[in-house]
């Protein structure tokens, strides 16, 4: 797999022309799963045809060099070396595998963001039951929704083994100060675990500029790759600190004698033998697509769309938008006083507009703190047109107005 040596400037029309699905649906749910560019679908289909022709094993062997290229591309995107990169089927599962491989003592302390991904929180609670660790939620500036770095500094002590947070949560789009938190003084063995699900593919985030010890991201969201693929990158410090994964595979560990084994020193210790080669190659094409187009260019296009959505939503009577700064948000969340989030989302779906609802199953702590049961989420990508946004805004306005009339009658 070859990474283009230079970045060109691509405008919104180019992204849209390269995204077949953009012509069939108003897609405003990149935070859930982005529409794939043509090259990703072609890559996946081409390898599936190869598997049908010669069988999965021969097809995988023929793709060996391209698979190495996927690792190199991921390392370039996420500012690390290939030996720091691991692949798996789910960002949440990979996060859990790494966290459960971290040696902890009883009463060890974990600091976690209120906005942490639900799956990560579940595994934190599981480990609290097993190892009697303490979980403390980091304080938040209630006005901005950002973690209060100065107050967190006062919480870090010698028992702190991990600081866990997303770059941006799935429930509210505010970008968190990962770099500032990672720069705080902390014990040598304390790792910063970062969920990049809502950032990788739209923000220039990686190991070098965040200070993270672990960064995970799925293929299907802002990277626009296939579902069932994810990336995890681990710092050298994390590789030294983490032990064996809770489940071993012959990819990550070797059966060295009849009664012994050895685990790899690099990030591949967390990989498994079974995976979709077609999906992995599709992920590689998605990463190469981002590298070719330029992450800064992609972010500029997304930012422009978020500003337009923010202005349009705030002009609709009864709508509350929860992100103050559209320029730095990963996406926008909102509610309308006339319709419950699920009902509004159903109205949008009837108009062939794909958006999302986030409820307490995914963002319980954040939503409870704000007194909310659920919010609507709108997440445009670079392929989103101004006409798409205007159709969305019109649909929200019409649905809200009709519901208000019904409620008044």
359 backbone dihedrals φ, ψ, rounded to 5°: -120, -170
How high is the pLDDT of residue 11?
Answer: 79
How high is the pLDDT of residue 2?
Answer: 38
How high is the pLDDT of residue 406?
Answer: 87
* 3-class secondary structure, 116: coil
363-385 pLDDT per residue, tens: 999 999 999 999 999 999 999 99
Q: Looking at domain 12-28+294-401, does it have CATH number 3.40.50.970?
A: no
How high is the pLDDT of residue 143?
Answer: 87
27-51 pLDDT per residue, tens: 999 999 999 999 999 999 999 999 9
Query: d(Cα 314, Cα 407) in Å, to the nearest integer?
Result: 21
**In the 8-state DSSP scheme, what is residue 200?**
B
The alpha helices in 217-265, defined as continuous H runs, are 236-241
Query: d(Cα 192, Cα 235) in Å, to the nearest integer?
Result: 10
How high is the pLDDT of residue 25?
Answer: 94
Residue ranges per structural domain of the chain: 12-28+294-401, 41-292
Cα-based angle 373, 379, 384 (whole degrees, multiple of 5): 150
How high is the pLDDT of residue 66?
Answer: 98
166 backbone dihedrals φ, ψ, rounded to 5°: -95, 155
Helix axes 277-293, 64-77, angle to 10 degrees: 40
What is the residue-level pLDDT of the chain in tens, covering all 409 positions? 334 434 455 678 889 999 999 899 999 999 999 999 999 999 999 999 999 999 999 999 999 999 999 999 999 999 999 999 999 999 999 999 999 999 999 999 999 999 999 999 999 999 999 999 999 999 999 888 999 999 999 999 999 999 999 999 989 999 999 999 999 999 999 999 999 999 999 999 999 999 999 999 999 999 999 999 999 999 999 999 999 999 999 999 999 999 999 999 999 999 999 999 999 999 999 999 999 999 999 999 999 999 999 999 999 999 999 999 899 999 999 999 999 999 999 999 999 999 999 999 999 999 999 999 999 999 999 999 999 999 999 999 999 999 988 888 7
* Domains 12-28+294-401 and 41-292 belong to one CATH topology: no
Q: Looking at domain 41-292, does it have CATH number 3.40.640.10?
A: yes
Residue recorded with tokens 């500012």: 79
Query: Which burial class, exposed, middle or buried, applies to 257 when counting CB atoms under 10 A from its CB (0-12, 13-18, 19+)?
Result: exposed
């Amino acid at each position: 797999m070859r990474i283009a040596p230079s970045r060109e400037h691509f405008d919104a029309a180019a992204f849209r022309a390269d995204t077949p699905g953009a012509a069939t649906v108003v897609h405003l749910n990149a935070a859930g799963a982005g529409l794939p560019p043509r090259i990703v679908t072609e890559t996946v289909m081409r390898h599936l045809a190869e598997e049908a022709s010669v069988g999965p094993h021969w097809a995988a062997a023929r793709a060996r060099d391209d698979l190495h290229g996927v690792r190199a591309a991921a390392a370039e995107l996420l500012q690390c070396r290939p030996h720091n990169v691991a692949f798996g089927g789910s960002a949440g599962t990979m996060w859990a595998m790494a966290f459960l491989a971290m040696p902890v003592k009883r009463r060890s302390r974990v600091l976690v963001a209120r906005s942490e991904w639900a799956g990560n929180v579940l595994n934190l609670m599981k480990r609290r039951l097993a190892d009697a660790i303490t979980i403390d939620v980091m304080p938040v500036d209630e006005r901005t929704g950002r973690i209060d770095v100065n107050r967190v500094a006062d919480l870090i002590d010698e028992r702190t083994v991990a600081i866990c947070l997303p770059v941006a949560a799935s429930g509210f789009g505010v970008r968190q100060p990962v770099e500032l938190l990672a720069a705080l003084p902390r014990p040598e063995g304390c790792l910063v675990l970062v969920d990049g699900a809502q950032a990788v593919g739209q923000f220039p985030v990686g190991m070098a500029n965040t200070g993270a010890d672990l960064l995970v991201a799925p293929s299907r969201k802002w990277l626009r790759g296939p579902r069932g693929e994810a990336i995890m990158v681990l710092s050298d410090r994390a590789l030294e600190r983490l032990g064996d994964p809770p489940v071993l595979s012959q990819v990550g560990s070797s059966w060295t004698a009849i009664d012994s084994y050895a685990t790899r020193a690099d990030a591949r210790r967390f990989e498994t033998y079974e995976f979709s080669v077609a999906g992995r190659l599709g992920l590689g094409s998605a990463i190469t697509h981002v590298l070719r187009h330029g992450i800064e260019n992609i972010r500029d296009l997304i930012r422009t769309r978020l500003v337009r959505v923010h202005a349009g939503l705030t002009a609709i009577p009864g709508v509350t938008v929860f992100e103050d700064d559209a320029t730095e948000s990963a996406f926008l969340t909102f509610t309308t006083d006339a319709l419950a989030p699920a009902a509004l989302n159903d109205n949008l779906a009837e108009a062939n507009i794909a958006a999302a609802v986030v409820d307490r199953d995914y963002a319980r702590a954040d939503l409870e703190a704000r007194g909310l049961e659920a919010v609507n989420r709108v997440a445009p990508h670079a392929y989103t047109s101004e006409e798409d946004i205007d159709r969305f805004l019109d649909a929200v306005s019409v649905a809200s107005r009709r519901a208000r009339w019904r409620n008044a009658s």
